[in-house]
Amino acid sequence: MSALRRISDTALIGMVLVQACLGIDVGKITGKLSRALKGDTVWAITSDCLKSYRTITNAEGRFVFDGIPSGIYRLMANGPGIWQEPTKDILLRPGATVEVNLWMESKVSENEPPILSPLHGVIVDTEDRPVWGAVITDFSAHETRSNNDGRFGFCRIYAGEEFGVIVTHPDYETKKVPLAAGAGKYSDGKLKIVLRKKKER
């Protein structure tokens, strides 16, 4: 390795450490909804759907996510009578501010409660060990799989009255999990679903 290459690598490592110490590995996403109404919910969801952040609009319909980790996000919003499906991927660079304006669509009924919500959870066995490769299907037939840590997520799920997931895995018993209706109830990643091993024949 050349001396110049070693100096370059050392400088890069130093820059990363300085960014970490200064907290500039985070950024800000701001924007405005197409209607000015206080109290609408806006979500910033990681592109792998495993984590989300939530904020509320002000009286002008503006929102802000400040100090969230840099990465790739999708934005989604909902409120009484309106919704916004997840956007295309938005790249948030360290220390940057991204402005995103969202156009809200009308729901069928103005009295319909907001039901679009991210959902994050974990699949474990009866000994609390993560289960990899489980197939999780919501009641609207959207499907995802658990990762090596047993974690799974849906960027957007319809959290209405008929709401829940079905979990299948070749080595475990199938489990149907009804969930309580309402946006945001399962966006904190604390939902834990326990699977039992299939009995050997």
d(CA 152, CA 73): 16
Task: Examine the pLDDT at 12 and tell me if it is beyond 70.
Answer: no
- Work out the burial of residue 160: count CB atoms within 10 Å of its CB; fewer than 13 is exposed, 13-18 middle, 19 or more buried: middle
Question: What totals of helices (H) and strands (E) does the chain contain, helices first?
Answer: 1, 16
CB 75 within 8 A of CB 55: no
pTM strictly above 0.85: no
CATH architecture of 3-103: Sandwich (2.60)
116-195 under CATH 3.40.1180.10, yes or no = no
Adjacency order of strands within the sheet including 143-145: 143-145, 135-138, 164-169, 172-178
In this predicted model, what pLDDT tens digit does every residue of 116-159 receive, in sequence order? 789 999 999 999 999 999 999 998 888 999 999 999 999 888 77
What's the confidence (pLDDT) of residue 69? Answer: 94
In the chain, ranges of CATH 2.60.40.1120 domains: 116-195
Place of tokens 């079905």: 166
pLDDT grade, residue 163 (50/70/90)? confident
What's the confidence (pLDDT) of residue 21? Answer: 47
d(CA 81, CA 104): 10
| Phi/psi-derived region of residue 71, left when phi > 0, alpha when psi is between -120 and 50, beta in every other case | left
In the chain, ranges of CATH 2.60.40.10 domains: 3-103
